[in-house]
Amino acid sequence: MTFLIVAVVLVGALCMFNLLLTFAVLRRLREHTTELERLAGQEQFAPYDPSVLVGRALPGAGADDADRPRLVAFFDVDCSTCHERAPQFVAAARDHAGAALAVITGDGRKVDDLAGLVGGVSKVVTAEGADSMVRALGIEAFPTFLRVGPDGTVVDAQTELEMLAGTAPVA
């Protein structure tokens, strides 16, 4: 009989513990629901539209027409897509008439790796120069590709190199 009483007390204690855990979970779910309802009313981020860059002057462009870049790429070292698109940029820069410029943000060894990849066909801007160009133009997504006119203003801007007018299709 003693074992039966102990067993009933243990089962009762486990049931009480389970009930307490259930109440705690319900309370947390209510908090999360309240937070989600609060966030649902907030404005969503608008998708990045690089076409807002068209017409802006490229900062730091060469003074004379021969030095002015015609094809510009903005890369970030922590962006995996940037590393995937870098070889396409190299191919497009080789085929493109005019100078090319690669702006690489970030720091560390990855900058050197990316700069080494694109540096053979383009001038490379890194560190503070890259950050100031990104801020000046208002680049919000990486990679971003620009085609620049003879006067140094942005003629076309895209996040996909293939969509940039005036660049040869790259495989």
120 found inside a domain:
yes
54 lies in the same domain as 30: no
Quick one: average pLDDT of 9-19? 97
Q: How many domains does the chain have?
A: 2
126 lies in the same domain as 75: yes
Cα–Cα dist 98/145, whole Å: 15
| Phi-psi group of 127: left, alpha or beta (phi > 0 → left; psi -120 to 50 → alpha; rest → beta) | left
40 lies in the same domain as 54: no
Low-confidence winner among 6-10, 54-58, 120-124, 134-138 (lowest mean pLDDT): 54-58
10 lies in the same domain as 90: no
58 lies in the same domain as 21: no
| 118: CATH | 3.40.30.10
How would residue 166 be classed by pLDDT, with cut points 50, 70 and 90?
low
Cα–Cα dist 2/94, whole Å: 89
How would residue 97 be classed by pLDDT, with cut points 50, 70 and 90?
confident
76 lies in the same domain as 39: no
6 lies in the same domain as 74: no
Quick one: average pLDDT of 120-145? 89
Q: Looking at residue 170, what is its pLDDT?
A: 45
Q: How many residues does the chain have?
A: 171
Could you tell me what percent of the chain has a pLDDT over 70?
A: 87
DSSP of 133-156: HHHHHT--SSSEEEEE-TTSBEEE
Phi, psi of 13 (to 5 degrees): -65, -40
Q: Do residues 82 and 114 touch, judged by C-beta distance below 8 A? A: yes
Q: Do residues 86 and 92 touch, judged by C-beta distance below 8 A? A: no
75 lies in the same domain as 155: yes
Digit-coded pLDDT (tens) for 19-29: 999 999 999 99
73 lies in the same domain as 19: no
Cα–Cα dist 148/9, whole Å: 80
Return the higher-pLDDT residue of 139 and 50: 139
Range of the domain at 155: 50-163
Q: Looking at residue 38, what is its pLDDT?
A: 78
For residue 165, pLDDT beyond 80: no
